Chains A and B, each alone.
Chain A
Amino acid sequence: MTDEIDALGAKIDALKPKPQKADKSGFYESVGIRAGTELVVGPLVGGFLGFGLDKWLDISPIGLIAGVFLGVTTAFFNIYKLTIYGDTKPVAKHLKTANNSASNTPVKPQDSE
């Protein structure tokens, strides 16, 4: 009798929907979608800010050049953070969580996969 109940329990467990499965796939696609815009908008906004600085301080074209370079660097920096950590928050927060997870606390499923 208990064997039958156990077998039934195993069957029910097998049929139970795996939670968060759909969310996961959405998560990876969202990372992909974000990386593209980051790369386009970074240099654009950087260049725009640099151009504004040029007009304001009359140092053309140094501001524009520096702005575009900084924008490109920001874009790649953000994509790096996106691929490693899944979002573009400032670095130190991630350093902390990386240390924590390495030492004692078990890694959350969302971080590990």
Chain B
Amino acid sequence: MASPTHQFEIKPLIPLEIAGVDISFTNSSLWMMIALGVSICLMSLATRKMAMVPGRMQAFGEGMYDFIDGMIRDNLGEHGKQYFTLIFTLFFIVFFGNALGLVPYSFTYTSHLAVTAALAFLVFFMVIGLGIARHGLHFFSIFLPPGVPAWLVPLVFLLELISFLIRPVTLSVRLFANMVAGHIMMKVFAGFSVGLLSLGALGFGLGLLPMGMNIVMIGFELLIAYLQAYVFTVLCCIYLKDTLDLHH
């Protein structure tokens, strides 16, 4: 039986090395390109025939727009419009990373901490950079919320500071851990089926049980794929709010 973590292995497809830095085109890069291609195709199909009464593809495109727009309106308010492209792109990167990973023989690039951490730190440094650029040193008042009793100030300051510093880690670990756990679980159940085959006809019958479980798991993983992308983008919205207004 193949190792359940074998599926996360990075394989260089086109080996490349520039100035001692390994920048090979790997299977991870390939699936990122595929996700990019799929999202570009979907969105161009959605905007190809613009009609007053939307067709199927246009309705999908408008639905996605409304979904992200509503998310930004709820979490960032009217001024959040400036982040629309960023949030929309982030949602599609994460969602297609998760969803395309469920296709047999594919590679889930969101199952690598390097990818999710890069996305999370992008938002983290953007919040710090834009926050300081817009509010100056006043930005650091998010660590010292007013209305806290004086004797609690040092403790609350430390807690808020750690709470701020763990943001990119929670954001990236949540997505990466969910993807890895889900894929390992599916592989293990599939392994049960294969293992039971060695028992002959009885094994074949029994082997259908873990297979049925895997069918349920696929549906569940689709839900997780969407939910993780949703949580990732909602949290990015919440974090980006500090760059707009500090006290509200």
A residues bordering B, Cβ < 8 Å?
A: 23, 26, 29-30, 33-34, 36-38, 40-42, 44-46, 49, 70-71, 73-74, 77-78, 87-93, 95-96, 110
Cα–Cα distance between A33 and B234 once the two chains are bound (Å): 13
Judge whether A34 and B231 touch: CB under 8 Å: yes
Known: A23-B70, A34-B231. A41 touches B166 (CB 8 A): yes
Q: Is B46 positioned at the interface, with any CB of A under 8 Å from its CB?
A: no
Which secondary structure dominates where chain B touches chain A?
helix
Count: A-B pairs, CB below 8 Å: 74
- What residues of chain B lie closer than 8 Å to A23, measured between beta carbons? 70
CB-CB under 8 A from B228, the residues of chain A are 33
Q: Nearest Cβ in chain B — how far from A44, in angstroms?
A: 7
Among B146, B165, B170, contact of A49 (Cβ-Cβ < 8 Å) = B165
What B residues does A41 contact at CB under 8 A?
A: 166, 169-170, 173
Given known contacts A87-B238, A91-B145, A33 and B174 CB-to-CB distance under 8 angstroms: yes
Binding site for A on B (CB under 8 A): 70, 74, 142-143, 145-148, 156, 158-160, 162-163, 165-166, 169-170, 173-174, 177-178, 227-228, 230-231, 234-235, 238, 247-248
The majority secondary structure among interface residues of chain A is helix
* 19 CB-based A-B contacts, threshold 8 Å: A23-B70, A26-B227, A30-B230, A33-B227, A33-B228, A34-B170, A40-B173, A41-B169, A41-B170, A42-B162, A44-B169, A45-B162, A70-B159, A71-B162, A74-B163, A77-B159, A90-B142, A91-B147, A91-B156
